[in-house]
Amino acid sequence: MVEQNISSLLNQDVDRLKGRQILSLDSVVGETEKCVIVYIFNYYDCETCIDKGFEIVNLIDNSKKREYVKVVVSMFHEVTSTQKRNSYRGFIYKDKNDLIRKELRYIPTPVMIIVDNNCRIRDACIFEISQDKKQLDDFIKKCLSMDD
């Protein structure tokens, strides 16, 4: 029952995100000229949830054979141990002023979002311990089907 309520609240957060534009994204990751996937996490997120997100980042990057997902961290001073723990060798952008999360009204993180070339959110997945497997698989399929 509690897990269903949490899942329902997270789905509402995802629905609220869809269609929103992230004006601060370009100032953190550089200009986005085409659709991109962005993974955002911060210091206060549950470690298991952060690791789940990195598992998906690595899956997508390996499938695309390059650093495809833009990884963004906020409120984190040292990310090397997180990178090592997750075997992630890619670049991690630092949102030092927490601009993206502020703009999105502090959406729960870690979150992975699909953003179009106008920085508008097409879809999102908020990582949690009791993740709905089908919902996660569907999101991963969307990410993997994106054009390079």
pLDDT tens track, the chain, 148 positions: 545 545 565 567 888 899 999 999 999 998 877 889 999 999 889 999 999 999 999 999 999 999 999 999 998 778 999 999 999 999 999 999 999 999 999 888 999 999 998 999 999 999 887 777 888 899 999 999 987 6
- pTM listed for this prediction: 0.90
Domain ranges of the chain: 2-144
Q: Please report how many Cα atoms fall inside a 13 Å half-sphere around the Cα of residue 90, on the Cβ side.
A: 23
pLDDT of residue 29: 93
SS3 12: helix
Contact 31, 66 (CB under 8 A): no
Residue 92 to residue 83: CA distance in whole angstroms: 9
Cα angle: 148, vertex 100, 92; to 5 degrees: 55
Which alpha helices (DSSP H) does 21-123 contain, by range?
25-29, 47-64, 80-85, 99-103
- The class of domain 2-144 in CATH terms is alpha beta
Element of type H or E holding 16: helix 2-17
Which amino acid belongs to residue 64? K
